[in-house]
């Protein structure tokens, strides 16, 4: 049972359009706060998109996601879970990046998440572009490689861009496998689609045992069957969940830098998270929400709804 100090502000007590927005209206704590040591799940923003190779904007994602998250309430509608009563959750603020220096930003992110790991806090991250996942994994996989369930329309397994640039939002999981942060045989990528440069990323996956579920197979088999395989692939050992909002069809999530048509709808976007129950999730992220392309704010609200689902999945075990 969580401490009432960590419960979010209710819309019955303060209108949702009022007050300073934090993730899901939770208390905002920094590492020098006396209650920091009591946090079990930390929601963190990483406002950084220096790995973007086409349309920038995810650096503004955490701020918009925080604002949209004031509409998140205390109880899950389908399973009745009340996550804020199951664990001490808090908004731990943003990792301050260096927008002019990718290696420095990654070092800052890794240092921040190392502090969380040492404090026993499991992170739920709002990005940021997908390169964000790499420095987070560098902190969380100190004790050995993790499994991963990855929802995306792209594999992010490319070797490099532009003749040798190794760190972009299209390369984080190639680096993570090379660095021993992920066990490729316990990685499954779901929803992959769109036109391709070539098959280099998929060839790497096949050679290393990474399971790719293309969108055609996802729709042919259905959510329940695909996610049963995902749970079997990851197994009972610690794992990470990475969720790119462009997994969702752009009809429902237009506010992203690299949209791909022919994807899941917004209900299926939530449904796949509910099928993560039982996994040992040591951290999760929701990345690539780009406010400049999200004029209605609908992408951000879907994004924080997914974050709530991920939070519940992290606590279900």
**pLDDT, tens digit (0-9, with 9 covering 90-100), for 51-108:** 999 999 999 999 999 999 999 999 999 999 999 999 999 999 999 999 999 999 999 9
For 194-221, b where at least 16 C-beta lie within 10 A, e where not — what string?
eeeeeeebbebbeebebbbbebeebeee
Percent of the chain with pLDDT over 90: 99
**Which residues are known binding-site members for Mn(2+)?**
130, 152, 154, 156, 244, 246
Is it the case that residue 272 has pLDDT exceeding 80?
yes
In this structure, what DSSP letter does residue 154 have? Answer: S
Residue 90, helix vs strand vs coil: strand
Mean pLDDT, rounded, for 303-308:
98
How far is Cα 103 from Cα 239, in angstroms, rounded to an integer? 25
Residue identified by tokens 């950084």 is: 48
Is it the case that residue 185 has pLDDT exceeding 80?
yes
For the stretch 17-54, pLDDT in tens is 999 999 999 999 999 999 999 999 999 999 999 999 99
Identify the structural domains of the chain with CATH numbers, from first to last. 37-95+119-314 (3.40.800.10)
Output the pLDDT for position 280: 98
Q: Give the other-Cβ count within 10 Å of 187's Cβ.
A: 28
> What integer best gives the mean pLDDT of the chain?
97
Output the pLDDT for position 235: 98
Output the pLDDT for position 141: 98
Residues β-bridged to residue 239? 147, 281
| Conformation bin of residue 80: beta by default, left when phi > 0, alpha when psi is -120 to 50 | left
Longest dimension (CA), the chain: 56
Output the pLDDT for position 69: 98
In this structure, what DSSP letter does residue 252 have? Answer: T
Percent of the chain with pLDDT over 70: 100
Is it the case that residue 2 has pLDDT exceeding 90?
no
Residues β-bridged to residue 70? none
Mean pLDDT, rounded, for 190-195:
98
**Which residues are known binding-site members?**
130, 152, 154, 156, 244, 246
Cβ distance 224 to 271 under 8 Å? no
How far is Cα 134 from Cα 140, in angstroms, rounded to an integer? 10
């Amino acid at each position: 049972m969580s401490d009432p100090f960590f419960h979010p502000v209710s819309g019955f007590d303060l209108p949702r359009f009022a007050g300073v927005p934090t993730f899901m209206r939770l208390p905002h704590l920094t590492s020098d706060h006396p209650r920091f040591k009591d946090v079990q799940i930390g929601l963190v923003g990483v406002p950084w998109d220096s790995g973007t190779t086409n349309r920038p904007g995810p650096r503004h994602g955490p701020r918009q996601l925080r604002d949209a998250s004031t509409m998140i309430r205390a109880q899950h509608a389908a399973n009745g879970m009340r996550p804020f009563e199951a664990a001490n959750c808090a908004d731990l603020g943003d990792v301050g990046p260096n927008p002019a220096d990718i290696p420095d930003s990654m070092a800052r992110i890794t240092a921040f998440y190392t502090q969380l790991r040492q404090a026993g806090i499991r992170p739920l991250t709002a990005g940021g572009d997908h390169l964000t996942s790499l420095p987070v994994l560098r902190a969380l996989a100190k004790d050995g490689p993790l499994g991963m369930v990855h929802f995306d329309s792209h594999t992010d397994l490319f070797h490099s861009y532009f003749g040798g640039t190794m760190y972009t939002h299209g390369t984080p999981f190639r680096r993570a496998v090379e660095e021993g942060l992920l066990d490729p045989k316990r990685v499954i990528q779901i929803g992959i689609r769109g036109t391709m440069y070539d098959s280099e990323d998929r060839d790497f996956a096949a050679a290393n045992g990474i399971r790719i579920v293309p969108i055609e197979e996802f729709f042919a088999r259905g959510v329940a069957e695909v996610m049963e395989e995902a749970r079997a692939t990851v197994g009972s050992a610690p794992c990470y969940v990475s969720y790119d909002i462009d997994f969702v069809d752009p009809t429902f999530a237009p506010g992203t830098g690299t949209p791909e048509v022919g994807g899941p709808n917004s209900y299926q976007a939530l449904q796949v998270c509910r099928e993560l129950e039982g996994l040992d999730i040591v951290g999760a992220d929701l990345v690539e929400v780009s406010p400049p392309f999200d004029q209605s704010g609908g992408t951000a609200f879907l994004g924080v709804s997914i974050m709530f689902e991920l939070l519940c999945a992290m606590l279900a075990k």
